Amino acid sequence: MDEEFAFQQFLYEQIPITEKMKFEVIKFEPTSVKMLARLEPNFNHKCTAFAGSINSLMTLCGWGIVFSNVKEFAPNSHIVIQRSNIEYLFPIEKDFTAECNIVNKQDIEKLQLTFNKFNRARIKLNVFCKDENKLLSKFEGYYVVFR
């Protein structure tokens, strides 16, 4: 079973609404997580993507990259989002993706060192929502890992 499929099944079991929203995991690596949302179950009265669905996908994408990293050094820890900010740039009229990348590997090293010392750590992540190559939404989230 590949990592993407395993993570997608984990989400469907642990957060059942993700299956109803038809979220799909395209890429699941410690440095990059990319997810897809189908417009069909996630549209609003204007036939564009519902803001709550966009926010959910982006939040989950950031959560996924933290999960991908901490499962190695803190497998029984908890991951929560502490704070987030989202900017909707354009209406989304078809299927869309969210992607989170670890640009600086030192951010993960700092997360691990802080967690090992205090049993708690925080990381700031940026997630970008795109439709092909057009940037549709920007998300900034602070995720906390704790025992």
What does each of the 147 residues of the chain score in pLDDT, given as a tens digit? 699 999 999 999 999 999 999 999 999 999 999 999 999 999 999 999 999 999 999 999 999 999 999 998 999 999 999 999 999 999 999 999 999 999 999 999 999 999 999 999 999 999 999 987 899 999 999 999 999
Domain at 78, CATH number: 3.10.129.10
Nearest to 55, CA basis, from 133, 130, 138: 138
**DSSP-derived secondary structure letter, 77:** -
Q: Give the count of domains, the chain.
A: 1
Its domain, for residue 112, covers 3-146
| pTM of the complete model | 0.95
Q: Which residues of 48-82 are buried (b: 16+ CB within 10 A; e: fewer)?
A: bbbeebbbbbbbbbbbbbbbbbbeeebeebebeee
